[in-house]
Structure 1
């Protein structure tokens, strides 16, 4: 094992947190290896909502102009149609420096970060490398085991080892390394799961991104320019039972909620066209062990409410780079106190957003998808308050900029040329 390849920092997971952290550490002069299980970033129905907090980080590292050239749809305000009544809910207009959020294919964002990282000779992105476990010596994590990622029907690949002075797990809500480290999460639960599918857009369709609540159903339609990305909410665990019914059941519900889509529901040809997101909300009590740090969804799975998942993950990455880059440029072991400091800094923003999400799940989502026959309505006082843009700015600021937003402070060592 002593002869195994080694690196100063190994990042497991090439999602938003892993790619941003790998880039920030590489530009700070740290030797870093990023392991990504898949051979590319092309997976549909991933989090595609990029908020102002992420745009500010991209601006600070000189990537905003390239980001703005990516295909995207900008959203300045969000509305809901509740029992037939339209209600403006969230408004980014008037906020600075960015008065919008952007819907960007996640694979394009990840490809942008990967391309920038590859400009640095100390950035080593290894695709199709799946971490399978941790290497521990003397009570400290000193590396990972991994193998080439293969399809489930292919022969299992043999394990390799990679030693690292610090391992950072960014491998998502089903984190392999979290399980290997036996770190326990506080489970907060969710009343719903989400069915994702696409619907064609017509020129006569509404331009806004909006949600619809009616007849015990709830659906959010995200404008992706040439198609709608639809999120249809079902009661927790209800997906399996729904899939035993004809696909016409879903088509009928979509037509009821959004009549302008009625002539296109046949494009949902079968349940194979519908993907399921099993919603979970949790947070580790401890994000670290000697030689190991977890960030992003590996440390705290978020509800899809507000589309904050990738943005909080990137904020974690910025905070980790700020705290650890100088230490990683040296040769000494990384003290666990430095890892604890990253958790301490990011725990408050995480808990605040999760608290808001859990409140919305309980008071709005659970009632919206209940088959009680009692229509959900917006209370008169809330409706009156929401007529003022500054009131609608409050949730936009909370989700878009967020409490405890991180500025990039890690050092920069430009690549040659």
Structure 2
């Protein structure tokens, strides 16, 4: 029986976005700037001014030039760069030997001459500030979505949401599920999904940047697994070690000196620096990643975006990048559908995107298992730098269209 003491409020929206992480915020902002009525639901409490969302991990991501271009179209790049670490390029090593050297500024077609290492909550903070300027976007915090009646044959969907203050019923023409790998909306919509934990191990540790370090990201492949040295926003140097679970257990069950020895063996030029600055296991962060595979990314007017559609491992740094690209492209397609375009392209986008995502997930799986032997086998494990920097070739035209879409702002709903 319903609690009659709780006030029920019914509202309508052109789009209801669920999840106020970077992906959901970008989608809500893109649609809001087009003048659509947007309701954004987030289960966590509203973050304190200047701070991360409650319960959100201090995640740092490498954002590639193609994704930075999308954020630049929203007017965010300069502000985002202020608290970020600039990454001018990358180098790939196999068995300790330099195999490839890349610089973003030398890459033909790169819209930005570098990548950025950013804290996710810095991006969240900037996107929230932009949303606060729009009177047609309503953000509901501590929103627990309990029911979803999916629209069919062009009809809208209805979400039933409980907050500490009220029971909210949202009638929405489109629902965008950006609520992560354990997506409530995906489950309520009846979209089958497989959420599989990675069999490998991911450890990272942050140390101060060496005085002579140039900021270049360096990926080391070898018998140890995979080690990445790169910037952690503006905080210093982060060493990310991805290996099979057996090797990780052998190291992590021993003294911290064993980890120091392992990392120093991979990057001898940093051996003294690593030994000086890694002293305790409390400095080491261990993360369990998951792969998400769903039967479909779109059912009637419910659209899965980002991790709710295709959660990834951190290897290759493409999780946030592909998700933000998806959010921009799908927001443009939802905009077209709201304007009456029956061929808006949402299904076509999935058809183009899914094979790339699944192939990349397979590459990530191979890099979290026992490493193959031989230099040739090692080289097969490295993703193509151009694809990381500029995005999947098949959807680059769609990303270009989305970039132009993000730059549009009718300005009619600014406070």
TM-score normalised to the size of structure 1? 0.78
1:228 paired with 2:237, answer: yes
CA offset digits 1:4-44 (Å, max 9, x no partner): 33231221111222010110111111111222333333544
User: In structure 2, what is the equivalent of residue 400 of structure 1?
Assistant: 389
Structure 2 spans left out of the alignment, 5+ residues = none
1:255 paired with 2:260, answer: no
User: In structure 2, what is the equivalent of residue 143 of structure 1?
Assistant: 159
User: In structure 1, what is the equivalent of residue 88 of structure 2?
Assistant: 76
Q: Secondary structure at the match of 1:313?
A: helix
User: Does the CA contact (< 8 Å) of 1:5 and 1:161 recur in 2?
Assistant: yes
User: Does the CA contact (< 8 Å) of 1:191 and 1:236 recur in 2?
Assistant: yes
User: In structure 1, what is the equivalent of residue 285 of structure 2?
Assistant: 274
CA offset digits 1:292-337 (Å, max 9, x no partner): 221111011123232121121122212222122255479xxx98x8
Q: How much has 1:249 moved relative to structure 2?
A: 3.8
User: Does the CA contact (< 8 Å) of 1:50 and 1:311 recur in 2?
Assistant: yes
Q: Secondary structure at the match of 1:182?
A: coil
CA offset digits 1:97-137 (Å, max 9, x no partner): 2232211221111211111111110122233x243433327
CA distance in 1, matches of 2:170, 2:317: 35
1:355 paired with 2:359, answer: yes
User: Does the CA contact (< 8 Å) of 2:243 and 2:370 recur in 1?
Assistant: no
CA distance in 2, matches of 1:34, 1:26: 10
Q: How much has 1:246 moved relative to structure 2?
A: 4.4
1:111 paired with 2:125, answer: yes
User: Does the CA contact (< 8 Å) of 1:305 and 1:357 recur in 2?
Assistant: no
- More moved, 47-56 vs 251-260: 251-260
User: In structure 2, what is the equivalent of residue 412 of structure 1?
Assistant: 409
1:126 paired with 2:140, answer: yes
1:160 paired with 2:158, answer: no
Q: Secondary structure at the match of 2:334?
A: helix
> Aligned match of 1:16 in 22, 26, 36?
22
User: Does the CA contact (< 8 Å) of 2:20 and 2:41 recur in 1?
Assistant: yes
CA offset digits 1:61-85 (Å, max 9, x no partner): 33334334x3222223211333222
CA distance in 2, matches of 1:199, 1:378: 32
Q: How much has 1:163 moved relative to structure 2?
A: 1.4
| Number of residue equivalences | 381
Report the CA distance shift for 1:138/1:94 in structure 2 as closer, same or farther (over 3 A).
Answer: closer
CA distance in 1, matches of 2:160, 2:249: 36
CA distance in 2, matches of 1:138, 1:366: 42
Report the CA distance shift for 1:73/1:56 in structure 2 as closer, same or farther (over 3 A).
Answer: same
User: In structure 2, what is the equivalent of residue 98 of structure 1?
Assistant: 112
CA offset digits 1:231-276 (Å, max 9, x no partner): 211325876786555444434323333313122110x4437x4231
CA distance in 2, matches of 1:86, 1:137: 53
CA distance in 1, matches of 2:298, 2:314: 25
- Aligned positions of 1:268-417 closer than 5 A: 268-270=280-282, 273-280=284-291, 282-325=292-335, 327-328=337-338, 341-359=345-363, 361-362=365-366, 366-368=369-371, 376-377=374-375, 395-402=384-391, 403=393, 404-405=395-396, 406=399, 407-408=401-402, 409=405, 412-414=409-411, 415-416=413-414
Q: Secondary structure at the match of 2:303?
A: strand
CA distance in 2, matches of 1:88, 1:365: 22
CA distance in 1, matches of 2:151, 2:207: 54
CA distance in 1, matches of 2:357, 2:250: 31
Q: Secondary structure at the match of 1:304?
A: coil
User: Does the CA contact (< 8 Å) of 2:62 and 2:115 recur in 1?
Assistant: yes
User: In structure 2, what is the equivalent of residue 27 of structure 1?
Assistant: 33
CA offset digits 1:319-371 (Å, max 9, x no partner): 222122255479xxx98x86xx3242144234224314524643x65453x7x
> Aligned match of 2:75 in 53, 62, 68?
62
Report the CA distance shift for 1:229/1:162 in structure 2 as closer, same or farther (over 3 A).
Answer: farther
CA distance in 2, matches of 1:238, 1:33: 47
